[in-house]
Amino acid sequence: MGRLFVFLKKEVIFIKRYEPQHEEILSAGIDIGTSTTKLVISKFSLMNMAGGMHMPRIEIINKEVLYRSPIYRTPLLSSTAINSSEVESLVQREYAKAGIKAKTIKTGAVIITGETATKQNAQVMVHHLSNHAGDFLVASAGPDLEGIIAAKGSGAFEYSKKSGKVIANIDIGGGTSNVAVYKSGKLLGTCTLHIGGRLIEFAGSKINSISPPIRELFQQWQIQVKEGDQRKNTIIKGLTEFMASVIARMLNRQLLNTDKPLLLGHGPNWQEDIDAIMFSGGVSECLYKYETNSPITAQYDDIGEILAASLWESKELAQWPWIKPDETVRATVLGAGTQTTEISGATIQVDSSQLPLRNLPVFQVPFGHDLQEGLKKLPAAVQYAVEVYDSQREGQNFALFLTEIPYLGFRDIQQLAAAILESMKIKPNEDQPIVIVLESDHAKVLGQTMKVQNPKQPIICIDQIRVENGDYIDIGHLLQTSVVPVVIKTLTFHH
């Protein structure tokens, strides 16, 4: 009986070991406030957290603060103008001390906060600085955004996530108190008050300046106080005690008509009762003295320390537990430098030659989970966006934020791409990139489809970003990990 020999071909397959994508970028935070100016440099570590066989998911896995500047007095030319050249020189000096160059900065934020945002040259200075301080966003924080950034820098945001409690962060600077209320990491509401350390300034034993809200309050109280008068401690202490009471009433959502001179913008807009409070900002430094070993070059003669004492002594504020902040006077700058940047999805389509893009207003188009209904809305939405953001037809670009998009098949993507391209033809400048922001992971296929349908049209299509109607975004250079840094901001120069 014969034997059957079966020869099996042996193959050796070499499987390449998966190495996760990793990248590090530098971020700058610069805070030009009513009283002080300061800067931080941070390093972000980015990594693909999805694994080799999955769709890339790039996340910021670590943030490290590399450098903290001294705290400087904000340089002013007058009561109505910022000393722009001195601010720029200050930033360049601090970059040199940190051992970094502007071109290495890839993200971050410059914010002009408090009363400084009312200066006549604030907007010009912001845009000038954006061209000299690195590839990152520059925003003048409106009071709401300022409060949100400070709450993230102070530790209140993280405390709310870990504890699940409702916490109000009260960031008290030179001109304003910016309040942001969080629960479990979710923003519940904001409020801003004309309460700060520099609302009355002294020159020796005399009053040097009184801010307009305080003047209005003194008139309401029928108290005769003006610049040049002798400093009267009983009146000043009465004022700071009133300020502490107003903060307590604001936290309880029970502001009185007599408190209104100190309210800036809308009233408290959260619904839940507050469980705990946290103070940050320059006045909180008077409470906690975190900066005792740091050379602070700014010295003041104002009501800041008296206000801090009134907060500490207030029986009304004692009804809440006080949680110690991680940062006091540096809360806003650390929030700006480490908390304002988001990373787009890796499934994006961008014409890198068009980046970076700055100060793009966002116009939201909700599809209501119905593609055909959404497509019907697109032409009118683009027309309205042009009227709102480019009424003079000078070529101001904007981003369309498409939300509530249903499941899309191949034909649906083609239909959506064609509808966007057709709707955008009414824009006055056809050479501008079409910028689309999506919540869902459709950016790459949608962007590529638009590019096939119109190869000459520059396309910026990003996803996994959540913005709101009326926000502004900056989109940075394409990184090695095939993502772009995105900063979401509110541009408000409140005169």
Residue 229 lies in a domain: yes
Per-residue pLDDT tens digits for 112-144: 766 776 677 777 777 677 667 776 555 555 677
Total count of domains within the chain = 3
Task: Give CA–CA dist 32/121, Å, rounded.
Answer: 13
| Same domain (yes/no): 414, 443 | yes
| Same domain (yes/no): 314, 370 | no
Q: What is the domain-level CATH number for residue 131? A: 3.30.420.40
Q: Is 6 exposed, middle or buried (0-12, 13-18, 19+ CB in 10 A)?
A: exposed
Secondary structure (3-state) at 131: coil
pLDDT of residue 15: 39
Are residues 345 and 441 in contact, defined by beta-carbon separation less than 8 angstroms? yes
CA 38 to chain centre: 16
pLDDT of residue 301: 86
What residue ranges of the chain have pLDDT lower than 50?
1-20, 53-55, 295, 297-298, 490-495
Task: Give CA–CA dist 209/226, Å, rounded.
Answer: 8
**Which domain-ending residue is among 84, 113, 142?**
142
- Give the type of residue at 99: G
Residue 221 lies in a domain: yes
Residue 485 lies in a domain: no
| Same domain (yes/no): 312, 403 | no
pLDDT of residue 321: 98
| Same domain (yes/no): 125, 204 | no
Closest CA to 327 of 28, 99, 38, 25: 38
Residue 11 lies in a domain: no
Q: Output phi, psi for 62, to 5 deg.
A: -155, 145
pLDDT of residue 260: 93
pLDDT of residue 440: 75
| Same domain (yes/no): 354, 295 | no
| Same domain (yes/no): 215, 181 | yes
| Same domain (yes/no): 219, 320 | yes
| Same domain (yes/no): 191, 269 | yes
Name the one residue in this structure whose structure tokens are 């309460």.
Answer: 195
Per-residue pLDDT tens digits for 185-208: 888 989 999 999 989 999 888 999
**Which domain-ending residue is among 116, 142, 168?**
142
- In this structure, the strands spanning 186-193 and 263-264 are antiparallel
Give the pair of three-digit tokens for residue 490: 């509110």
Name the one residue in this structure whose structure tokens are 């000299």.
Answer: 132
Residue 291 lies in a domain: yes
Give the pair of three-digit tokens for residue 152: 């993230």
Residue 361 lies in a domain: yes
Q: Considering the entire predicted model, what is its pTM? A: 0.69
Task: Give CA–CA dist 417/452, Å, rounded.
Answer: 10
| Same domain (yes/no): 44, 128 | yes
Residue 108 lies in a domain: yes
Closest CA to 482 of 443, 435, 449, 438: 443
Are residues 469 and 362 in contact, defined by beta-carbon separation less than 8 angstroms? yes
pLDDT of residue 85: 87
Closest CA to 247 of 287, 282, 279: 279
pLDDT of residue 169: 97
pLDDT of residue 491: 42
What residue numbers bound the domain in which 323 lies? 145-327
DSSP code of residue 431: T
- Exposed e or buried b for every residue in 398-415, given b needs 16+ CB within 10 A? bbbbbbebeebeeebbbb
Q: What residues contact 431, with CB distance under 8 A and at least 6 apart? A: 458
| Same domain (yes/no): 303, 202 | yes
Give the pair of three-digit tokens for residue 467: 């913005």
Secondary structure (3-state) at 481: coil
| Same domain (yes/no): 49, 190 | no
Are residues 337 and 108 in contact, defined by beta-carbon separation less than 8 angstroms? yes
**Which domain-ending residue is among 295, 327, 359?**
327
| Same domain (yes/no): 362, 441 | yes
Give the pair of three-digit tokens for residue 201: 């300034």
pLDDT of residue 352: 82
Residue 477 lies in a domain: no
Q: How many CA atoms lie within 13 A of 335 on its CB side?
A: 31
